[in-house]
Amino acid sequence: MSKKTQSDHHGIQFPIPSGKKTPSTTHTAKQILTSALRSVDSPYVSKLIAEKNWRKNYPVYFQELVEAGIQSVQNPTRIAQHGLDTAKALFSFHRDGNSDALNHAMQNIKEQPFENFILQGTGNPEVEPWYIPYHGKKLQGAELLKQVDLWEKQQVIEPSHAQALRLLQQHPEWFDLSKRTMVLFGAGSEAGPLSWLAKWRANIIAIDLPQTAIWEKITNVVKQGNATLIAPQTQTVDGGQTLGANLLTQTPEVANWLNTFSETLDLAGIAYLDGEKHVRVSIAMISIMEQVSQQKPDSSIMFMLTPTDIYAIPKSVVQSIEQKVKQRPLLEKVLTKSIHKISLTNFFKANSEQLIASDNGQQYGISDCMVIEQGPNYALAKRLQQWFAITARARGQKAVINIAPSTTTHSVTKNPILKAAFSGADLFNVETFSPETTNAIMAALWIHDLNNPESAANPERPLDHPLELIMENANHGGLWHVPYLARTALPFAAAYGWVREKL
């Protein structure tokens, strides 16, 4: 693990294994996944416990979570609940030299030091019509629908996602958010919906780190729009005021502050941090959401997922991949087969997994688009978010959780391999999106899921399988339909992208 500053030892922490002096992210992740797999009697449990090369082999166990989840409609909730319970029991909360279980800290710390800072936007009071910024254009109306049709035809987005975007065009009234109070954990996030909510008259409760640059950005965005910003504010020692809160070190206080609001809350967990901090901030957001939801059961939750993960997919997608494999040009077949053989089967592994039967009488496939470069902490953080959404919906709560496309955010493109791979992704008919395009699509999709009673997010709508909550509305950029495992084709996309950038 990297060196920590003194302040890093406060708040939510990974546990220290018995006989060790420092926390182990690997030990913790294996414990969480072991508990999840044990709940469904997976044969992979003993293999996972004995696993010596977690950093390389972790996708095997994430795939088993999905496969076991598909087999029974009872399994996803069982896996999610056991995984979450173990995670919440393992993480500790440190303050003033004392350590407590995170669960206990959330229950026992009752105070909250925040006052409400309120800022009203002074921009155009009318709700700005929704559009999608795309390659220098503002797509609206017929032009937007034409692009949606094209994305669907090219299999960049799933049909349910296309249908949601079309429905949003038909319901401009959905974008008036003046009666909604929307909480953004990580409000300044590059991939977040702040800039759109600020134009749609939303009441925005913004939570982000107490750093001047972050709050200058947030307040400037809100000032230009017509929304109302509410932010946590604390008194400084010299009598000044500071905006913001730290989700990792003030977790109980943030939950307590949110519970002072009388309004129904829409809670969006969009905060991102690098490395192991991403797991800790995910646990923080989940702990806060859970505490708020206990007091406000009519609140909704929202997360955005990455397409570079392992998912259950509809049978129709598997059939599409099989068709693509058959229809590949002869040159592509020869080249990929040769490289696959020369590389001792490390490159261009087939992505056409056989269908898996579920006890609901249907069959589903698995899309493995996990990218090793993103690491096991990233995979665990996103899995915890999935698990919380699945359990929240099972409890009767509205749970919005959609796969967002691969996006050229700073957090992704600062990795040179991923940056080059994104640049060359079109070699495999995969589209990557700019942050402003993703923001417009995903903000609107959140609005769709909150308003459309037929959305999978609505717990009153029956699903054939709990994992359909994540299958629906997917914008994977085409990754689901690539006939090769993403990580075995990534080096070639990266090489192609690198050469193209140099030329």
Q: What is the largest CA-CA distance in the chain?
A: 73
What is the reported pLDDT for 126?
97
pLDDT top residue among 13 and 373:
13
205-262 confidence digits (pLDDT tens)? 999 999 999 999 999 999 999 999 999 999 887 778 999 999 999 999 999 999 999 9
What is the reported pLDDT for 323?
64
pLDDT top residue among 348 and 33:
33
What is the reported pLDDT for 309?
94
Per-chain mean pLDDT for the chain:
88
Q: Which two tokens stand for residue 66?
A: 């999905």
Per domain, the residue ranges of the chain are 11-110, 115-307+376-406+432-479
pLDDT top residue among 159 and 19:
159
Q: Alpha-carbon dihedral of residues 187, 182, 83, 407, nearest 10 degrees?
A: -50
pLDDT top residue among 426 and 365:
365
Looking up tokens 């950029």 gives: 477
Query: Which three-class secondary structure string do you get for 167-212?
Result: HHHHCHHHHCCCCCEEEEECCCCCCCCHHHHCCCCCEEEEECCCCH
368-395 confidence digits (pLDDT tens)? 888 887 899 999 999 999 999 999 999 9
Query: What does the alpha-carbon distance between residue 75 and residue 329 come to, in Å, rounded to a whole number?
Result: 40
Please, is 403 exposed, middle or buried when counting C-beta atoms within 10 Å of its C-beta (0-12, 13-18, 19+)?
Answer: buried
276-293 confidence digits (pLDDT tens)? 999 999 999 999 999 999
pLDDT top residue among 339 and 26:
26
Are 468 and 360 in contact by the 8 Å Cβ rule? The answer is no
- Arithmetic mean of pLDDT, 294-317: 94
Give the confidence band of 479 by pLDDT, cuts at 50, 70, 90.
confident
CATH domain 115-307+376-406+432-479 topology: Rossmann fold (3.40.50)
Residue 163 contacts by C-beta under 8 Å, 6 or more apart in sequence? none
pTM for the model: 0.90
What is the reported pLDDT for 84?
97
Lowest mean pLDDT among 242-251, 260-269, 423-432, 437-446: 423-432
